[in-house]
Structure 1
């Protein structure tokens, strides 16, 4: 199995979960992880260079993919998917969903995502528009930024990831410190972001929100 890995803070709980998951030693040893930003993993999955990954939600709508009800979700705000105010329009090359969401919401300006966006927003939120917050204002729905998709071995992934979204993943403090240092944030900021902002269970509201977003994005 070749699993795509996005090395952002918002997927840190998944990496810890997979590391601790009780797979047989031989099976775990045979698993490969390929790192990349969301847009790269979109391409890797499309060309079958990986078997499965959490990819951009708009990309996951392709008929060729099998999807699980696991992804990166946020309700009312996300802090890490932004449009910078008073700037020329530019896409973030790392993300397909966020660029499409900015278009759907008719937001010009520079799109910024991920750990860098989180740091910028926490430093001064007056300079940025939180796209999840604006989506909620307009629709009353949460937003699904990414979803787990695969091209094969869905049943195996389903078994492995079955308990992920329902489990309280405890991240060792030294790992939180490592990411905090890398991004130049406080550990408490990362804990707040993971504990209060991001969640992973795609339920009825999330599915409705995703359907609505994809429908609107296709019209642009």
Structure 2
């Protein structure tokens, strides 16, 4: 069983959860080996080099249609702090297909910046437009940035999702300090950031995702594919 891992602060709660989850040593070892940014994991997932992972919403479209997606996701209801457009010449972020597409859907101009780099930029006071905030202002719906999808081992991954969604995860101090040192972002700021993100899909989240997919269709924005 091969799970691909996004190496961003927004999945710290899941990282803490999965380290303690009773799984085989092979699963845990692969988890540490296959770490990357969302767009790279999209390709690995579509080419079935990994069985599952938090896949960018735009790349998880087929999985959702085939009922190969769990009810765990990376979600924001309003401001998200780590998905933004900054005042610079128009440019995409190579790390995220979903955020690049969302920028087009929202009709925003500038450079797309996501993940820990975006959070660090905001932490230092950089001017920006928060795409989660703009989406919510236009739709009054949460935005699903990535969803826990799978190619195989349905029961195993659905069980992980169910357990993950059951209760909030407390992140140990030492892990927070590791990320604070790694990103030069304070521990308190990281904790405040994580308050803007949640992980359990419900009816409104699913409706928001469908609204995004409909917007992609209207604007003829292509989804990642194998061919």
Whether TM exceeds 0.5 here: the answer is: yes
Q: 1:162 Cα deviation (Å)?
A: 1.0
SS of 2:69 mapped into structure 1: strand
Structure 2: distance between partners of 1:211 and 1:103: 16
Q: Does 1:29 align with 2:33?
A: no
SS of 1:5 mapped into structure 2: strand
Structure-to-structure mapping, 1:178-193, within 5 angstroms: 178-193=178-193
More moved, 109-118 vs 159-168: 159-168
Structure 2: distance between partners of 1:172 and 1:115: 19
Q: 1:170 Cα deviation (Å)?
A: 1.4
More moved, 64-73 vs 102-111: 64-73
Contact 1:65 1:151 in 2 (8 A): no
- What is the match of residue 15 of structure 1? 15
Structure 2: distance between partners of 1:118 and 1:209: 23
Q: 1:193 Cα deviation (Å)?
A: 1.2
For structure 2, the 5+ residue unaligned runs are 220-227
- What is the match of residue 79 of structure 2? 77
Structure-to-structure mapping, 1:65-104, within 5 angstroms: 66-85=68-87, 87-104=88-105
- What is the match of residue 122 of structure 1? 123
Structure 2: distance between partners of 1:206 and 1:130: 19
Q: 1:40 Cα deviation (Å)?
A: 0.5
Closer, same or farther: CA 219–129 of 1 in aligned 2, 3 Å? same
Contact 1:65 1:149 in 2 (8 A): no
- What is the match of residue 168 of structure 2? 168
Root-mean-square deviation (Å): 1.3
- What is the match of residue 208 of structure 1? 207
Aligned residues: 214
Q: Does 1:58 align with 2:58?
A: yes
Contact 2:56 2:145 in 1 (8 A): yes
Q: TM-score, normalised by structure 2?
A: 0.91
For structure 1, the 5+ residue unaligned runs are none
Structure 2: distance between partners of 1:150 and 1:165: 17
Contact 1:77 1:132 in 2 (8 A): yes
